[in-house]
Amino acid sequence: MATGSNIRTYFDGTWHDGDIPVMRAADHGMWLGSNVFDGARFAHGLTPDLDRHCARVNASAEALMVTPTVSVQEMVEIVRDGLTAYAPDAAVYIRPMYWAIEGGMSAIVPKEGGATGFAISLEEIPMATPEHSATITRTRFRRPVLEDAVVNAKAACLYPNNARMLAEAKSRGFTNALVADALGNVAEAATANAFAVKDGEVFTPVPNGTFLAGITRARHIENLRADGVMVHECVMSFDDFHDADEVFLSGNMMKVTPVTAFDDTNYQIGPATRRVREMYWDWAASA
């Protein structure tokens, strides 16, 4: 089921209008989960860090032992061609995807050098307004470690766990969850990286191999430091978030999402959060 509207699909070397079928019942990715994807954005006429997202989907494929077949530059060019069908002021979610078609070693492992499926989905999904916010709670589900799951890839097989986190949060009346790693420290939110602001300084969980340190997260850190803000990548507890002056989430889909409540702790949408959003789009326009 599609999330957005006005969908276009790149498959078998050409663009198609609509959400077309791309996978067969016996494809390795269909029944054994060798699916990876990435997400980029077209908004305000810009495609921030599109090349990095294309590079990451190739790296994700390799992490799942799937052979990537499209170079970063070629992928960027395909996306840009597909976007010409949209209005200049459209907001489009860009999702390149790979999956293994053939299996080897008793079928479980993708066949080395085997055929790979590739598609790109474009969907119109509006960008959030600055006033759009999230509320978060804790969840009993945790982020896995590399020894348990392919946390070094943006892999579809990781997302059922995220779905459990979100379902639990929504059952309590919240929109997202703040998630622990295996040691009980904060890793990220169920669908985004997490930041806390305290006394004008910004804090975010240090990448420790349990979550993807996002491309948009890295861009925010770079922009903040260039603006003279102290940013700490460190081990963080849930109390650190309760004690914060501001909390915001960072992800490709909406770039910056202010948090207005963490359980019974409430926050205002503060100046640091607004500044991060402003700096991101200023950077994107100048890149």
Q: Are 75 and 94 in contact (CB under 8 A)?
A: no
H-state helical runs in the chain: 28-32, 50-63, 72-83, 159-171, 215-226, 238-242, 271-286
DSSP states of 60-72 = HHHHTT----S-H
Gap between the Cα atoms of 113 and 67, Å rounded:
6
End-to-end CA distance of the chain: 34
> What does R_g of the chain's alpha carbons equal in angstroms?
19
pLDDT, residue 72, reads 98
Q: Which amino acid is at 131?
A: E
pLDDT value at residue 37: 98
- Determine the pLDDT at residue 163: 98
Domains 5-124 and 134-286 share a fold: no
Per-residue pLDDT of the chain in tens (287 residues, 90 and over written 9): 578 899 999 999 999 999 999 999 999 999 999 999 999 999 999 999 999 999 999 999 999 999 999 999 999 999 999 999 999 999 999 999 999 999 977 789 999 889 999 999 999 999 999 889 999 999 999 999 999 999 999 999 999 999 999 999 999 999 999 999 999 999 999 999 999 999 999 999 999 999 999 999 999 999 999 999 999 999 999 999 999 999 999 999 999 999 999 999 999 999 999 999 999 999 999 98
CATH node for 134-286: 3.20.10.10
How many Cβ atoms are within 10 Å of 232's Cβ, its own excluded?
Answer: 13
How far is it, in rounded angstroms, from Cα 183 to Cα 19?
Answer: 41
Residue 4 confidence (pLDDT): 83
Parallel/antiparallel/unpaired status of strands 5-11 and 186-189: unpaired
Q: Does domain 5-124 have CATH number 3.30.450.40?
A: no
Structure-token pair, residue 100: 């293994």
DSSP 108-170: TEEPTT--EEEEEEEEE-PPPPTT--EEEEEEEEE---TTTS-TTS-BGGGHHHHHHHHHHHH
Domain spans, the chain: 5-124, 134-286
Instruction: Provide the 8-state DSSP code for 207.
Output: P
Q: Of the candidates 251, 247, 256, 260, which has an alpha carbon nearest to the alpha carbon of residue 279?
A: 256
Beta bridge mates, 257: 249
Helix (H) or strand (E) holding 212: none
pLDDT of residue 3: 80
pLDDT of residue 1: 56
Q: Residue 208 has which token pair? A: 């420790």
201 contacts: CB under 8 Å, gap ≥ 6: 229, 230, 231, 232
The answer to whether the beta carbons of residues 194 and 178 sit under 8 Å apart is yes
89 vs 106: CA distance, rounded Å: 49
